[in-house]
Amino acid sequence: MTDDCEDLKRRRLRAWIRLLRFTRGTENHLREFLRTQYNTTLPRFDVAAALHRHQKPMKMSELGKVLLVSNGNVTAVVERMEKDGLTVRSQSPDDRRSVLVSLTDLGQSKFEEMARAHEDEVDTLFKNIDGSDLDMMRELLRKFESSRQPNTVEDTGAEGSGLHRD
């Protein structure tokens, strides 16, 4: 392998580490924000956002695919949200294996309030980033993603874009 390749390899690794670090720091900030302001957690927020975005009841498995988390994880988080009266589960009429989750009215209204504040918070966090930066960012991420294997997250018909979108 040439020196150039080695150099590129090294730089790719550093870029990944940097990206990971930035993401982790931002997540930490938002976690703290949700905890102190709304007494909730990121995973719960993510689930609520996915359900809110999807408009209609969602299968447990769809939820897992959209959020990139395991099956058992979805069960656990939704269970806790249900205990707090934020979600409800029901059997799918089409397929008796499937479970449909949706937000309760309480879950809906709590999420909508949080989502506004969350959006503001992200806006503040990213205040130095202008439109052209965002274009660049999108382009870069597109390239990054095109590198990756056919698919780690096999896409079912799910729109597959919004991780905890609000």
Contacts with DNA by CB under 7 A lie at: 28, 31-32, 35, 41-44, 59-62, 68-80, 89, 92, 95-100
Binding mask 87-126 for a copy of itself (x = CB under 8 A): --------------------------------xx-xx-xx
Tell me how far apart the alpha carbons of residues 37 and 48 are, in angstroms, rounded to a whole number.
16
Please identify, using beta-carbon distances, which residue of 61 and 129 lies nearer to DNA: 61
Which of 117, 89, 110 minimizes the C-alpha distance to 44? 110
Distance CA 147, CA 133 (A): 21
Token pair 């991780």 is found at 163
Q: Is 158 in the site for a copy of itself (CB under 8 A)?
A: no
Which backbone phi and psi does 87 adopt, to 5 degrees? -135, 165
Residue 14 binds which entry of a copy of itself, DNA, none, CB below 5-8 Å type-dependent: a copy of itself
Residue 91's DSSP bridge partners are 99
DSSP notation for 24-83 = HHHHHHHHHHHHHHHS--HHHHHHHHHHHHH-S-EEHHHHHHHHT--HHHHHHHHHHHHH
Name which of DNA, a copy of itself, none residue 78 binds, using a CB cut-off of 5 to 8 Å depending on partner kind: DNA
What is the separation of C-alpha 26 from the centre of its chain, rounded to a whole number of angstroms? 13
Q: Looking only at residues 3 through 42 of this chain, which bind a copy of itself when binding is defined by CB under 8 A?
A: 8-29, 32
76/140 with CB nearer a copy of itself? 140
Indicate which single residue of 146, 150, 154, 157 sits in contact with a copy of itself (rule: CB under 8 A): 146
Residue 105 contact partner, candidates DNA, a copy of itself, none, CB within 5 to 8 A by sort of partner: none
Q: Which residues bind a copy of itself (CB under 8 A)?
A: 8-29, 32, 68, 119-120, 122-123, 125-131, 133-134, 136-138, 140-141, 143-149, 152-153, 161-166
